[in-house]
Amino acid sequence: MNNKRLVIAIIICLALMVAALPLLSACGEPDTEGKTLKIGITTPTTGPAAEKGAPMGHGNLDCIKYVNEELGGVNGYQVEVVWLDNGYDAAKVATIVKRFMNEGCLLYSTSSSAMMAASMEIANRAGFPGIAAFSSPILYRPPQHIYGQMPDYGDDFLVFAEYYMDNIWKGTGKPKMAMHLLANTTGYGARDAATAFAEELGIEIIATEEHSKTTTSEMESLTRVKALNPDVLYISSTPAPTALIVKNAYELGMFPGITIGSGHAGFTKALIDIAGADITEGVYGVFPTVNWGDDVDGMAKMTEYINEYHPNDAGNMDYITTWAQSLIMVEILRVALDNAGYDALAAGDAASWKALEEQGIQKLKNYDVDGLHGPVSYTPGDNRLSKSVRVFQVQGGEITPLTDWIDAPMVAYEDFEWFGN
């Protein structure tokens, strides 16, 4: 009888162990079968910024494909992407972000500051965290629930202006700078930095011209600028308008002659492709990622994917930007899983967003992004996750680095009474 009871006990124990197998893997880890971590991504793949947005969308989605198929997801959970094209149309973005929230996404990303600016009021009010690849100070000053992946357009201006004063300007007195700005946050971020610091840097701003995202000629505005005899023209825009402005300046005989600098939104391979290598030769710009071919950990895998899936994007640094953005979102998910657990994130609701932000984004510390741009950390009071840019110049038709990483300091723009007006 005792033996029979022992056999029954063993059978019961075995049955209980078998029943528990779906809950635990062989390594004692939770079962992830059929469970996902959902994120929202919106890019301007069509519309007036498609030359920039299309490769950025490709970079985002190719990276998530790599993470899911080669790395097994995040701690075994597959990353589910809700991806939507915004057409660089601010009127569409509010609807897109509401959909992200309604479908249980844990966070969302935009590639552009303009699209994030159009969505941030809804996101901030709901506590829904967002990350902009390219950003402007207005997105997170003062800090709320929107984060910048990298330094912003104000940082671009400050780094370029200091480089210009230290390495290019050879005259006496103050150099005269004209600014040509896209009429949205891409341009206004640079304007804010110039308003705050141009005098302190020893630069005289002699003109501030604006252009639309669909501009077809800036000959009239550049004729006004030329009459003021500037030493330097600084452009903060997307690639197509930047290329047009550089080309018009060339046609007016302004360039070569003056120095032209570009913020990172416009300073990419598309600039050279659109305006031409001869016309853009010598143009300076800043950019917050490494260049193609740099010897960093993430280069080989990223190059493999771009060559296999989107060879037409080869050489475009915008692809690097959003491949890195997806890596950062994956790291945020991993950190949040480690700190809060899957159950805290599973619902994709306001409580999940709070857990993701506080136990994921705000726990980031020195994540190296496979070396593709400056290290990512959250610093209280500073919603820029990476702070480093480099100065480049078009040389021989190629975007060529001139400096190592330069850290842009945090600027509390909200302390200026004019900010946001």
Q: What is the mean pLDDT of the chain?
A: 93
Do 183 and 267 belong to one domain? yes
- State the chain's maximal CA–CA distance in angstroms: 108
Residues 135 and 108 occupy one common structural domain:
yes
Residue 420 lies in a domain: no
Tell me whether residue 306 is in a domain. Answer: yes
In a domain, 394, yes or no: no
Q: Is residue 68 part of a domain?
A: yes
Q: Residue 102: which residues within 8 A CB-CB, separation 6 or more?
A: none
Report whether 231 contacts 175 (CB < 8 A).
yes
Q: Does residue 111 contact residue 264 with C-beta atoms inside 8 Å?
A: no
pLDDT band at residue 371 using 50, 70 and 90 as cut-offs? very high
Q: If you ran DSSP here, which 8-state letter would residue 268 be given? A: S
**Does residue 259 have a pLDDT over 90?**
yes
What is the tens place of the pLDDT at every residue in 13-71? 444 444 444 444 444 566 888 899 999 999 999 998 898 899 999 999 999 999 999 99
322 and 111 Cβ atoms separated by less than 8 Å: yes
Task: Domain count for the chain, please give it.
Answer: 2
C-alpha pair distances (Å), 171 with each of 174, 249, 285: 8, 22, 21
Of the candidates 184, 98, 177, 170, the residue with the CA atom closest to the CA atom of residue 134: 184
Same structural domain, 242 and 174: yes
Q: Are residues 283 and 162 in the same domain?
A: yes
Residues 234 and 201 in one domain: yes
Closest CA to 318 of 59, 77, 62: 59
Q: What is the CATH number of the domain that holds 362?
A: 3.40.50.2300
Which of 7-11, 57-61, 317-321, 375-379 is predicted with the least confidence, judged by mean pLDDT? 7-11
Instruction: Dump pLDDT digits (tens) for 149-190.
Output: 999 999 999 999 999 999 999 999 999 999 999 999 999 999
Same domain, 167 and 311: no
Whether 124 and 178 share a structural domain: no
- Give me the pLDDT at residue 25, please: 44
Query: Model pTM greater than 0.85?
Result: yes
Determine, yes or no, domain membership for 212. yes
What DSSP assignment string belongs to 155-221? HHHHHHHHHIIIII--SSSPPEEEEEEETTHHHHHHHHHHHHHHHHHT-EEEEEEEE-TT----HHH
* Shared domain check, 283 and 158: yes
Q: Is residue 5 part of a domain?
A: no
Pairing of the two strands 259-262 and 284-287: parallel
Is the CB of residue 211 less than 8 Å from the CB of residue 237? yes
The residues facing 91 across adjacent strands are none
Q: Is the residue at 209 inside a domain?
A: yes
CA-CA distance, 313 to 306, in Å (whole number)? 7
Q: Is 32 inside any structural domain?
A: no
Q: What is the Cα–Cα distance from 302 to 56, expressed in whole angstroms?
A: 13
Contacts of 21 (CB under 8 A, 6+ apart): none
Q: Do 251 and 361 fall within a single domain?
A: no
Residues 283 and 166 in one domain: yes
Structure tokens at 160: 């370029």
- Give the C-alpha separation, 7 to 13, whole Å: 10
Query: Residues 78, 65: one domain?
Result: yes
Pair 320, 247 in one domain: no
Structural domain including 62 reads 38-151+297-386
